[in-house]
Structures are given as structure tokens and as C-alpha cells.
């Protein structure tokens, strides 16, 4: 079951930058207007100690930085823009990896997992009429955006404006009652990347550039994402400088059908 939890955690996270439910309503910035996505590859890299080997030199924020891979995720899609296969590999701490295949019925997505040293099995997940996960505690709007999620003692609600999630409110009761609010800012001139797990709900159509979190009184965190573009390819790299001075970097490659 670990693989399913990994998959669901990834696809319900805001920071995975997902898109629509069954069909996309915009083109990712990396692809040509006529391109239908066949495959999305995401290479995760870092300048920190988690890198398997810092063997790449890049210029970020005017600095020369050494980075190396930590993981690769590959997503394959059918002609309806649904995910049909995903695979992942990690390179540090001995490495690991696995694969998931997705089959669809009218009311289910059936995930077959094959993971090294982890979960192996077949996991049917119920879908609603929108083709989205049908679980207790999940609520969607008419457009297919996830607008409420209950996780244990936490209730999380999302505010949508002009196709982007602009506010997340998390109310928790343990250990004390508290409300955290995250505000999201976007580059409205840049469309988002392809949806890696469309059955988890539609989210922001533009590229996320900043997140600010408060506890209702004080700001508890703020961070920004920056992007590098290739004139012929569009978006190719996203990076963030962490508070400890290290960088995390994501490289994107899209293969058209």
C-alpha cells in the first residue's frame, strides 16, 4: 500500500502543479500548440548532500552551482490525456524505483504497482462521475477543482480564482486549534505543466511563483520558484533556493504524441 500512498500524496499535493480532470483546457508552456503529450519526464536535482553525484554545473541567481540528480519521474498518457503509466527512480542512498500502470473503467481507476522493495499489487480506486477520486473527505467543484479535503483532524479548503488556486486554509484541532493560511501567486503569462495525475482534481492553470503561509497572526514561511526557458522549447527548468542556501532543481522534458 506504500506505493498508493506515495502516488496519492504526490497527486493531491498543490506543489505537483496539476491540471484538468480528463481533458486539458490549456497547452503547457513547454510544448508546441499542436502537441498532445505522450510523455512527461521530470528530473529532480539538488546542490545539497542528497545528490547522488553533483556532476552538473549551472548558473542560478548569478552564481555557479554544482548540482546532481536525486530522482527521475516519467509519466505516460493516453489520447484522452489520462495517465496510463508512471515510473520513478531514486539515485541516492542505494537507489530505488518502481512502476505503476493505470487502467480505467466507468467508475474506477485500477493501479497495478511494481516497486523495488516496496508495494506490489493491484489497487482499484473509486471515481465519481467527473472521473475524480471518490473518497470520504474529498469535495470538488463543478469544474473539477478539489475545494475541500479532510485529513485526520485537519480540514483543508481551497479558493479558486480565474483557474488558479490562490488560497489554502488548513484548520487543525490537535495539539491545539489553529488555522494556517497559504497564499499562492502565479505568472499569469505562463501556462502550467501537464497534469501528472488527472484523477486527483484540476488545479492551477498557471505557473506558481510564490507561496506565503501565515498562522493568522504572523508569517510562518515564504518561498519563491524561478523558471528558466528555452526559446525553442519553452519551460525547461524550475528552481528554488532553500533557506539553508541549497538549491532544488526540476528539469522537464515533454514528448509529443
> Are the C-beta atoms of residues 164 and 17 closer than 8 Å to each other?
no
Return the ∠ at Cα 196 (arms to 191 and 202), rounded to 5°: 60
pLDDT classification of 231: cutoffs 50, 70, 90: low
Residues in the chain, overall count: 257
**Can you give the pTM of this predicted structure?**
0.81
Residue 1 scores a pLDDT above 80 = no
Instruction: Find the mean pLDDT for residues 139-158.
Output: 96
What pLDDT is recorded for position 167?
Answer: 97
> CA-CA distance, 193 to 254, in Å (whole number)?
9
Under 8 Å between Cβ of 65 and 57 = yes
- With b for 16 or more beta-carbon neighbours within 10 A and e for fewer, the 192-231 pattern comes to bbbbbbbbbbbbbbbbbbebeeeeeeeeeeeeebebeeee
Residue that has been written with the C-alpha cell 504572523 in this structure: 218
pLDDT digits (tens, 9 = 90+) for 88-144: 999 987 788 999 999 999 999 999 999 876 667 999 999 999 999 999 999 999 999
pLDDT in tens, 9-65: 444 333 333 332 222 333 344 444 557 889 999 999 999 998 988 999 999 999 999
Asked if 51 and 58 count as a contact pair (C-beta separation under 8 A), the reply is no
Amino acid at each position: 500500500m506504500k506505493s498508493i500512498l506515495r502516488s496519492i500524496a504526490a497527486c493531491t499535493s498543490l506543489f505537483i502543479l496539476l491540471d484538468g480532470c480528463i481533458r486539458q483546457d490549456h497547452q503547457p508552456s513547454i510544448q508546441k500548440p499542436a502537441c498532445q503529450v505522450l510523455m512527461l519526464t521530470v528530473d529532480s536535482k539538488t546542490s545539497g548532500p542528497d545528490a547522488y553525484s553533483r556532476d552538473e554545473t549551472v548558473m542560478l541567481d548569478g552564481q555557479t552551482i554544482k548540482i546532481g540528480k536525486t530522482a527521475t519521474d516519467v509519466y505516460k498518457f493516453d489520447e484522452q490525456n489520462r495517465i496510463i503509466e508512471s515510473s520513478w527512480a531514486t539515485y541516492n542512498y542505494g537507489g530505488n524505483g518502481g512502476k505503476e500502470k493505470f487502467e480505467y473503467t466507468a467508475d474506477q481507476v485500477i493501479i497495478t504497482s511494481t516497486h523495488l522493495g516496496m508495494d506490489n499489487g493491484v489497487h482499484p480506486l473509486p471515481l465519481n462521475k467527473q472521473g475524480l477520486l471518490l473518497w470520504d473527505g474529498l469535495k470538488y467543484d463543478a469544474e473539477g477543482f478539489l475545494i475541500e479535503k479532510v485529513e485526520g483532524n485537519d480540514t483543508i479548503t481551497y479558493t479558486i480564482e480565474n483557474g488558479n488556486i490562490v488560497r489554502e486554509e488548513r484548520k487543525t484541532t490537535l495539539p491545539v486549534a489553529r488555522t494556517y493560511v497559504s497564499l499562492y501567486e502565479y505568472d499569469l503569462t505562463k501556462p502550467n505543466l501537464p497534469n501528472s495525475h488527472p484523477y486527483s482534481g484540476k488545479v492551477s492553470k498557471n505557473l506558481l511563483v510564490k507561496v506565503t503561509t501565515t498562522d493568522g497572526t504572523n508569517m510562518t514561511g515564504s518561498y519563491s520558484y524561478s523558471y528558466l526557458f528555452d526559446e525553442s522549447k519553452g519551460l525547461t527548468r524550475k528552481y528554488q533556493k532553500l533557506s539553508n542556501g541549497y538549491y532544488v532543481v526540476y528539469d522537464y522534458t515533454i514528448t509529443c504524441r
